[in-house]
Structure 1
Amino acid sequence: MASAPFIDLVAPNGVKYAQPTGLFINNEFLLSADGSSVDSIDPATEEKIATVQAASVADVDNAVKAARKALKGPSWKLLSASDRGALLYKLADLIEENRELFATIDAWDNGKTYLEALENDLVEAVGVIRYYAGWADKVFGQTISTTHQKFAYTIRQPVGVVAQIIPWNYPLSMATWKLGPALACGNTVVLKTAEQTPLSILVLGTLVKKAGFPPGVVNFLNGLGNVTGSVLVSHPLVDKVAFTGSTATASAIMGAAAKTLKNISLETGGKSPLIVFEDAEMEQAVKWSHLGIMSNQGQICTATSRILVHERVYDEFLAKFLETTKSTSKVGNQWGKDTYQGPQVSKAQYQRVLDYVNIGKGEGATLAFGGEPLNINSNGKGLYVSPTVFTNVSPSMRIWQEEVFGPFVVISKFADEDQAVALANDTTYGLGAAVFTTNLERAHRVAAEIEAGMVWVNSSQDCDPRVPFGGVKQSGIGRELGEAGLEAYTQIKAIHVNMGNRL
């Protein structure tokens, strides 16, 4: 296959760099076998940034076979666990050295603010890779006592070739969440980028090669989900699928994986509740509530998009929340130092938010703030939506039940703790939840009762590489991050040894 070119780009903030445009397979950037491509669009201007190659069926097969060959090859299979960790440490150092470049690319490609990408996403990406670099030589089995004539032990081995599919809301961070534990455990990877935001992952490919990973260990494919993603998930040589994205897509992946009983882990949607009790520290509850739904343009799987407030403090909370939204949520291009909310990632996501505004109005909810497209640019271009707040919402409404994935929040009231928990659990999702109270007993009691994989007490959106991340119900299967994240990428083999028992 022919090599794909690098193109010279200059980002709106003046950063100049060489952008790979190909499929990263076997440590090389290649052209698509059938000439397919996808365009990366700047959501602030709706102008094309770059065109990258999109993987065909043949390209997916090429990548998976490269990963399979690397899995069995001595340069990876026989590499010591400590040396695998050293490669990951090297990759983390290279990412950190290029943090301004990665922040620039993800801001340009995604629409998130440059400061958000630099101060949060890049810190997390580097931290996750370093965390799993440290785990590489600390994954081990156990010995099991049976009888004096028998001996048994277990070893943990890599699952094999892993297909990883990441979302567009945190491109680099989500890639590291999956690459870190998979590589630490000795797997090989074929990772599909999000079609909306492929650019930073392709640049990461240059660092994978520079760090010294053997060819085929890490492969990156671009392409549409219903083409490249579907072929990748169904490939017979793929042993595991790890996916982050919508619940609907996860359901389709689960069905495809079931045909060959592939190992799967899924992190999907959410409609996370945030409960404010009457004894909450009000200023903190308002600030965390605002961050929990309006940061990153509301494009967060754990976004606390349903706020439940005790009836005694409801009016006070609502007034302060609306004031904070008005004063804090400045909408503008991703390069402005005072911009809080950039454009939505794509035309489809922009329209989805506006569609749910109309749905909420039609259902009889009260539009308390926002809900409008914004003309930030003089030419009318740009996928900007004002932060949106609905009140007088009932659990039967679609805007209460369905994930919008934008700066869109519903606020309701409750009378007592039992009702708060019932309302919080009135959803098919179960990813995150938050509880604001100064009553320690109630905090732990409610946290235990909420049906979610994660609960924050007096904060929102806390995330740490050392702490497991994942959901229940239709928010996913399995866990990422922490020691629990390693379990998704190893399989246990039991070995029985006869020490003299004779038949």
Structure 2
Amino acid sequence: MERILNYIGGELIAPQSGKYLENVEPATGKVYGEIPDSEAADVDLAVKAAQAAFPVWSKTSRAERSKLMLKVADLIDQNLEELAMAESKDNGKPIKLARAVDIPRASANMRFFATAILHESSEAHQTDDEAINVTVKSPLGVVGCISPWNLPLYLFTWKIAPALASGNTVVAKPSEITPMTAYLFSKLCIEAGLPKGVLNIVHGLGPKVGQAVVEHNDTQAISFTGGTKTGKQIAATAAPMFKKLSLELGGKNPNIIFADCDFDKALKTSLQSSFANQGQICLCGSRIFIERPIYEQFRDAFVEKASKLKIGSPYDDSTQVGALVSAQHLEKVMSYVKIAQEEGGRLLCGGQIVEVEGECSQGFYLQPAVFEGLAYDCRTNQEEIFGPVVTLTPFDTEDDVLEMANSTDYGLSATVWTSNLNRANRISRDLHSGIVWVNCWLFRDLRTPFGGVKNSGAGREGGWDALDFFTEKKNICIKY
């Protein structure tokens, strides 16, 4: 039983209440550790530590901040296998996915923002021959970063890296469902020599810890990734306090496949974009729209491949689909399988709980489900399921597919498969989405803005957008 501790003021400490929560391994369904059941008092302690560290950290040179962050990135690389195993054990995802994507991306996040601050420039506007206006950016102070359970270290570092790079000090709350890599990360920060109080990590439940971070009078900004319902609650709390907000929320993303696509590539990538990380990625394309001339061909090939995906222990390198993150989430996803059937959907494959042999027999496994025959505006096609459940729908015209694709309350990402450049531009322009991938999926350049429209969030992360979010701009006008 491994007991996780909070990271406050540069030290690993127990929660002030002395209470802990169980940490369950999704692959086996068994408790394997404990995490702090922290409260507002722990958050207040973390905020005070961050406040004490801010004056020095905010004035630390960019070169020195960069050097420390790069050292943390080096330590992530050096501990790749340990971090990948911890991520897999905590989340249920195949270890090969954690090893190839999650942990390397966490390192890349730290490196990207550590080096970006070395290349920032200031704006200057000369007003005729009378004055010059200079724009300067200053860190905000203590900021709150709240990250989700689906890509734990990946998204944790995506938030704290630009915050730290900009000269802020941070109070961070990782998901209580997947806290282990954030705990290991705190150890790496200590090893790297990150000054005390610059980063503080408080573990615990959202209503107690997350809410305390949001409503604390001394947190200047909140960066949150998670469910839309929680995002609305955060906005309701933070907006009247005039805090800066960045909200990356849910998605119900369309995957549009035209008849002139590269069929094999669209098929292979669509399988990945449907079921990667057990469908537990906000960017997964859970609604697949297929142009009618190739509908049956694509459907049959997709179902054949989906039904053969290997489900099993995440620690087996041959596993393609691991465990869902928790028993509660498995129950939620299964409820949508039932809803889809009640709405008249034809289950083409999957949708059954899988019992894996051996020590993983009590884990949370589900065979990926594929439905057809559902109306585009039914609950299954409108509500975020966040699991390995997809629907297939034929379409005839661009107008038809745009109407269906844009019909949801979400607008995070979309994917378009076509060899027609003009069509790709037309469809991309008219999709209500913050991100459109053409002939690819989840291809990320960290310089680009990331975020959604409608109920998928507010604000943008990534690149200069992230660094701008964590700073305050000031105009200085100097008259000649």
TM interval, shorter chain, is over 0.9
State yes or no: 1:64 paired with 2:47.
yes
Amino acid at match of 2:240: K
Equivalent pair of 1:102/1:200 in contact (CA under 8 Å): yes
Report the secondary structure of 1:145's partner residue.
Answer: strand
- In the other structure, the counterpart of 2:328 is 348
Q: Deviations over 1:175-196 (max 9, x none)?
A: 1101111111111111101010
State yes or no: 1:475 paired with 2:456.
yes
TM-score by length of 2: 0.97
Q: How many angstroms apart in 2 are the aligned matches of 1:38 and 1:498?
A: 60
Q: Deviations over 1:403-447 (max 9, x none)?
A: 000001011011111111111111110111000111111112111
Deviation at 1:83, TM superposition (A): 1.0
**1:39-118 alignment, distance < 5 Å:** 39-72=22-55, 74=56, 76-118=57-99
Which of 178, 181, 201 is the matching residue for 2:159?
Answer: 178
Q: How many angstroms apart in 2 are the aligned matches of 1:350 and 1:487?
A: 38
Q: How many angstroms apart in 1 are the aligned matches of 2:131 and 2:415?
A: 50
Deviation at 1:78, TM superposition (A): 2.1
- In the other structure, the counterpart of 1:375 is 355
Amino acid at match of 2:28: T
Deviation at 1:147, TM superposition (A): 4.8
Amino acid at match of 1:87: L
Q: How many angstroms apart in 1 are the aligned matches of 2:122 and 2:139?
A: 13
Equivalent pair of 2:145/2:224 in contact (CA under 8 Å): yes
Equivalent pair of 1:140/1:155 in contact (CA under 8 Å): no
State yes or no: 1:28 paired with 2:8.
no
Report the secondary structure of 2:455's partner residue.
Answer: helix
Is there any run of 5+ residues in structure 1 with no aligned partner, and where?
1-8, 10-18
State yes or no: 1:267 paired with 2:240.
no
- In the other structure, the counterpart of 2:140 is 159
Q: How many angstroms apart in 1 are the aligned matches of 2:135 and 2:176?
A: 41
Equivalent pair of 2:16/2:41 in contact (CA under 8 Å): yes
Larger mean Cα displacement after TM superposition, 126-135 or 313-322: 126-135
Which of 18, 38, 41 is the matching residue for 2:21?
Answer: 38
Deviation at 1:378, TM superposition (A): 5.2
- In the other structure, the counterpart of 1:311 is 292
Deviation at 1:288, TM superposition (A): 0.9
State yes or no: 1:284 paired with 2:284.
no
- In the other structure, the counterpart of 1:14 is none
Q: How many angstroms apart in 1 are the aligned matches of 2:358 and 2:153?
A: 31
Equivalent pair of 2:147/2:174 in contact (CA under 8 Å): yes
Q: How many angstroms apart in 2 are the aligned matches of 1:488 and 1:297?
A: 32
Deviation at 1:366, TM superposition (A): 1.0
- In the other structure, the counterpart of 1:420 is 401
Q: Deviations over 1:312-370 (max 9, x none)?
A: 1100000000011122x211010111100111001111001100011111111111111
Deviation at 1:141, TM superposition (A): 2.2
Which of 188, 192, 203 is the matching residue for 1:211?
Answer: 192
Q: How many angstroms apart in 1 are the aligned matches of 2:401 and 2:160?
A: 38
- In the other structure, the counterpart of 2:316 is 336
Which of 351, 363, 385 is the matching residue for 2:366?
Answer: 385
Q: How many angstroms apart in 1 are the aligned matches of 2:477 and 2:190?
A: 40
Equivalent pair of 2:3/2:33 in contact (CA under 8 Å): no
Equivalent pair of 1:22/1:52 in contact (CA under 8 Å): yes
Deviation at 1:152, TM superposition (A): 2.2
Q: How many angstroms apart in 2 are the aligned matches of 1:26 and 1:138?
A: 30
Number of residue pairs aligned between Structure 1 and Structure 2:
479
- In the other structure, the counterpart of 1:404 is 385
- In the other structure, the counterpart of 2:301 is 320
Equivalent pair of 1:84/1:136 in contact (CA under 8 Å): no
Larger mean Cα displacement after TM superposition, 355-364 or 204-213: 204-213
Deviation at 1:230, TM superposition (A): 0.8
Report the secondary structure of 2:70's partner residue.
Answer: helix
Change over 3 Å in CA distance of 1:435–1:51 after alignment to 2: same
Q: How many angstroms apart in 1 are the aligned matches of 2:129 and 2:463?
A: 37
- In the other structure, the counterpart of 1:450 is 431
Report the secondary structure of 2:375's partner residue.
Answer: coil
Q: How many angstroms apart in 2 are the aligned matches of 1:300 and 1:257?
A: 26
Equivalent pair of 1:20/1:203 in contact (CA under 8 Å): no
State yes or no: 1:146 paired with 2:127.
yes
Equivalent pair of 1:20/1:202 in contact (CA under 8 Å): no
Equivalent pair of 1:36/1:56 in contact (CA under 8 Å): no
Change over 3 Å in CA distance of 1:95–1:21 after alignment to 2: same
- In the other structure, the counterpart of 2:179 is 198
Amino acid at match of 2:432: E
Deviation at 1:136, TM superposition (A): 1.9
Larger mean Cα displacement after TM superposition, 307-316 or 482-491: 482-491
Which of 339, 347, 361 is the matching residue for 1:359?
Answer: 339
Deviation at 1:42, TM superposition (A): 0.5
Q: Deviations over 1:62-85 (max 9, x none)?
A: 00111111112x2x1221011111
Equivalent pair of 1:305/1:410 in contact (CA under 8 Å): yes
Is there any run of 5+ residues in structure 2 with no aligned partner, and where?
none
Larger mean Cα displacement after TM superposition, 44-53 or 106-115: 44-53
TM-score by length of 1: 0.93
Equivalent pair of 2:3/2:34 in contact (CA under 8 Å): no
Q: How many angstroms apart in 2 are the aligned matches of 1:357 and 1:148?
A: 69
Amino acid at match of 1:164: C
CA RMSD, 1 decimal: 1.3
Equivalent pair of 1:20/1:29 in contact (CA under 8 Å): no
Equivalent pair of 2:58/2:139 in contact (CA under 8 Å): no
Q: How many angstroms apart in 2 are the aligned matches of 1:439 and 1:151?
A: 48
